[in-house]
Structures are given as structure tokens and as C-alpha cells.
Amino acid sequence: MTQDDKTRIQVDIYNQTYTIVGNEREAHVRLVCGLVDQKMRELKNNNESLDTSRLAVLTAVNVMNDYLKLQEDYAKLQRMVEEKEDK
Amino acid sequence: MTQDDKTRIQVDIYNQTYTIVGNEREAHVRLVCGLVDQKMRELKNNNESLDTSRLAVLTAVNVMNDYLKLQEDYAKLQRMVEEKEDK
């Protein structure tokens, strides 16, 4: 999702309004942004001194960490499928 | 990765220093943070007017979007494995 594409959807994340522009369905965009908002609020609860900018960066770090772990799991499952096919 | 756990690793993301505290290996933490830094710089190139806070939120939105797509792919692959096992 970038800011220079087709559909324009306004969302609130951590009390700021963003216009998300892209090709995704509105429900999907709202789901994604809702999860980011939720993660930011969870992190804020654990680190009350964090300002919005640092909070958002650490949220991105957390989600990237989850993404890489899922990527590893996906690769493992894929190898398992390939090994089964070879038998 | 949270800010109140075991190993403490200092990283720079988008010209700010963060202390990442957790149980992850240092190389993994540096990889994750390097990818976030890279994503922020890519987004900044496409949206020069964004301040750091909005840039970081939109980076988190992008990574979350990638995460959900990968989660769908993972679920599809898993269903494929299960269907094969049923045969």
C-alpha cells in the first residue's frame, strides 16, 4: 500500500488520520490499520515514556519480526511439501 | 521483541538510536531493524512531505499488509498439505 495509487481510504491510527491509497479492498485496509493501531497501543502500555514516532518505529520492528518468523515457517512448510513430493 | 526483557542491543533506525531488548540473536535483531530502516527510506522517497512519525506508522501499515498476505499464503499451503494427507 503506498500513497500514490487508486482507491483512497481515510483511516485513524493512534489518533491521527491517514489517507491510504492503493488497490486493496476497504475492509482489508481497515483490518491492517486496525491491527497497527492496536499494536501501537499495546506497546504504549508497556513503554509509557515512548513518543509517537519511536512507538511507530518499534511497532514496525515488531511486525517485521513477526513477518520474518512467518517467512521461516512458510519456507519450512514448503520444504516439507517438496520432500513429500519427492517420495 | 519488547523493551523490558533480556539482551540489550543498540540499533540505529532512520537516524535515531533504539535499544532493543529481548531474547533474539543480535544478527536477527540487526536484520529486522535494517529492513525497517530500508522500508522507511523507500517510503520517504515516494512521499517526501511525510514527517518521521507518519512515515513510521505507514511503514508499520505496509509491513502488516505484507504479514497478512503471507499469513493467507501460509494458510493456503497448509490446506493443500492437509488435503494431500487426506487422500
Q: Residue B12 corresponds to which cell in the numbers above?
A: 540505529
Q: Which of B47, B52, B67 sits opposite A67 (nearest CB)?
A: B67
Burial class (CB in 10 A: 0-12, 13-18, 19+), A77: middle
Mean pLDDT of A38-45: 96
Q: What percent of chain B shows pLDDT beyond 90?
A: 77
Phi, psi of B74 (to 5 degrees): -65, -45
Per residue in B20-66, pLDDT (tens digit) is: 988 889 999 999 999 999 999 999 999 899 999 999 999 999 999 99
Alpha carbons within 13 angstroms on the beta-carbon side of residue A23 total 0
Per residue in A59-86, pLDDT (tens digit) is: 999 999 999 999 999 999 999 888 877 7
Q: Where are the domains of chain B?
A: 7-86
CB–CB contact B64 A4 (8 Å):
no
CB–CB contact B70 A65 (8 Å):
no
Contacts of A2 in chain B (CB under 8 A): 43, 46-47, 62
Q: Nearest-CA residue of chain A relative to B57?
A: A56
CB–CB contact B20 A68 (8 Å):
no
